[in-house]
Chain A
Amino acid sequence: MLAVHQLSKSFKKVTAVSDVTFDAADGRITGLLGSNGAGKTTTLRMICGLVAPDRGEVRVDDVDIARDKARARTRLGMLPDSRGLYPRLTGRENVEYFGNLRGLSSAEVTARLDPLAEQLDMGDLLKRRVEGFSQGERAKIAISRAIIHHPQNILLDEPTNGLDVMSTRAMRTLVRRLRDEGRCVVFSSHIMQEVSALCDVIVIISDGEVVARGTEEELLAKTSAASLEDAFVALSTKEPT
């Protein structure tokens, strides 16, 4: 469970995130929906403690990340914006490295990786060196290494970016499975269909502020719009009062 309370962050004179507040419950997929540059990535970086907020608080399963970053991070898994893998290592070695850093033995990593490889249809990806992998193949390795320690809370920054149809489907199935296991999944995206298809709760961010949150039905009802896209446009262009 994640609780984000009044987070604010400015870079020099630009306000990236202002007063962002939302909860993300266990067993739910919470979607952060916003245009490019709306502040989604900065918010996610503050949640996992890589960027220190100017104001506000983040609690990961009731652990304040500012107080005990190490403990909070063991309960977090994040697929960040940059998917950098190590090209000279094989897929398995890439995942194993992060697993080992998280304190898992190599045997434990293998035990967890094999079912994941099947779910994501990774085939021989684990045996090959990452050099020359396609975007989709890279994404599969990157997500595996982000959740290899079975974190309760999972942050995914635009996880389907650059993926083809098959990879996107595999990724969605995985995200749903993680939710069904009772984990708290936060999913950022600027793609309406994606958020609409996956998310139980939607938080719309515009210009660094939360302009609306609720289920898709609630958002549609609130704006009397026919689609999530119309609702999004109506909400994110409305002047804050």
Chain B
Amino acid sequence: MNQFLVVFRKELRDAMRDRRSVLSALIYPVLTPLLIVIIFQVAANELENPPEMRLAVAGVANAPGLVQELRSNDIELEEMEQGALADAVRAGDVPAALDIPASYGERFRGGWPATVFFYEDGASRRNRRTASRIRRVIAGYSGTVGALRLVSTGVSPAMSQSIQMTTVDLSSSKARAAEVMNFIPMLVLFACFMSGMYVAMDVTSGERERGSLEPLLLTASDLRMLVFGKLGAALVFALAGSSLTLVGCVFAFGQLPLETMGLSLSIGPEVAWVILLLMAPLAVTATAAQVFVATFARTIKEAQTYLSLFMLLPVFPVMFLSVKAPALTAWMAPVPLLGQYLLITELMAGQDVPWAYVAMAGLVAVALGLVAAWGTIILLGKERVIFGGS
């Protein structure tokens, strides 16, 4: 029998009997759909709950006009002692608070600027939005009253305004929801890295840890066959994990009421195939790199240390995109991870991607995997690796 097949079959059988290897290939496909549902809940919250327009007020009696204006803007008022305002905002009981001092009425009637105190928690993203809306209402009231005063003295209110600025808030709830959903392509890509990792460690550093590498190399086997056989077994796990994760995602998205939410990101059965075509070559890169890195390690524990750093890689595209969100261009498609990430994002948004991009991403990923495999073959010929075991 061909040595490649002998190694492949043995490593596959060995890995199937290893609870850790099997669990790590199965846990991710279960975890990902769950995470998608959770992420979706967060996104749905953004959509369903518009900012809460509630305001704590002290001294309502001091400014009936202002209070009337706030009420007519659908702001729910909650009367409170002046001393309790700051604490209520700090504790998050109300999004914002307004203190109207007793001097308000006198100054207002006298035509002087009447002072009010506005409390808000700038650190809370939700409450910041409520506070800014309420501030706009108060500023609008102040402007209207000022204009009326000028009219009463015979001056055109337009004279007092050199610039009139109208702010249009473009941040739709939908855009915010989409921002949250951006994590999903990365989650899916993680499957390539997670599912075969234990097998990759076991067939390399595990071999060194057990002291079985030296006898194995003594069998006069072709190093290339050994490496590709081991890589093949780890790849079976990586691909199985990736495919199952996609199946789970298709199922999860099928259960979510995406249409009614107006969200367009989804993984349906019709794009899942293309996504798998993108993920399979990336699984080759990931697994080959893991096998290469783990060969340096004398024990599985040591390999885990190296590979947990390596697992940070899938996070990089998202970090890059949070700084600058680029449109998919030709040069990005073949960049490992970045290309897959952007292409999957496009596919999830229901857009067509050029087949040439998918092919380029795949070719580069497989080529990188071969480079890593070649590196492993060289490593296994080194005395330092063969005898550097525990």
Residues of chain A in range 88-120 having any CB-CB distance to chain B below 8 Å? 88-89, 93, 97-98, 100-102, 105
Residues of chain A in range 40-92 having any CB-CB distance to chain B below 8 Å? 45, 48, 50-52, 69-70, 73-74, 76, 78, 80-89
Q: Which residues of B contact A146 (CB under 8 A)?
A: 215, 218
A142, CB-defined interface residue at 8 Å: yes
- A42's closest neighbor in chain B, by CB? B387
When each residue 262-277 of chain B gets 1 if its CB lies under 8 Å from chain A and 0 otherwise, what string results? 0000000000000000
Considering residues A52, A86, A142, which has the most beta carbons from chain B within 10 angstroms of its beta carbon? A86
Q: A89-B10, A102-B220, A105-B1 are in contact. Are A50 and B386 (CB under 8 A)?
A: yes
B125, CB-defined interface residue at 8 Å: no
Report yes or no: B3 in contact with A101, Cβ–Cβ below 8 A.
yes
Grouping DSSP codes into helix (H, G, I), strand (E, B) and loop, the B interface class, with mixed when no group exceeds half, is helix
Q: A82-B211, A83-B211, A100-B1 are in contact. Are A88 and B14 (CB under 8 A)?
A: yes
Kindly state the separation between the CA atoms of A101 and B222 in the bound complex, as whole angstroms. 9
Report yes or no: A73 in contact with B218, Cβ–Cβ below 8 A.
yes
The number of residue pairs between A and B whose CB atoms lie closer than 8 Å in the complex comes to 77
Report yes or no: B215 in contact with A145, Cβ–Cβ below 8 A.
yes
Interface size, chain A (Cβ < 8 Å): 31
Kindly state the separation between the CA atoms of A20 and B209 in the bound complex, as whole angstroms. 31
Q: A101-B219, A102-B220 are in contact. Are A50 and B211 (CB under 8 A)?
A: no
Interface size, chain B (Cβ < 8 Å): 26
B145, CB-defined interface residue at 8 Å: no
When each residue 243-262 of chain B gets 1 if its CB lies under 8 Å from chain A and 0 otherwise, what string results? 00000000000000000000
B6, CB-defined interface residue at 8 Å: yes
B13, CB-defined interface residue at 8 Å: yes
Q: Residues of A with Cβ closer than 8 Å to B?
A: 45, 48, 50-52, 69-70, 73-74, 76, 78, 80-89, 93, 97-98, 100-102, 105, 142, 145-146
Q: Provide 7 A-B residue pairs closer than 8 Å at the C-beta atoms, listed in order of the A residue.
A: A51-B383, A51-B387, A73-B218, A82-B213, A89-B17, A100-B6, A142-B215
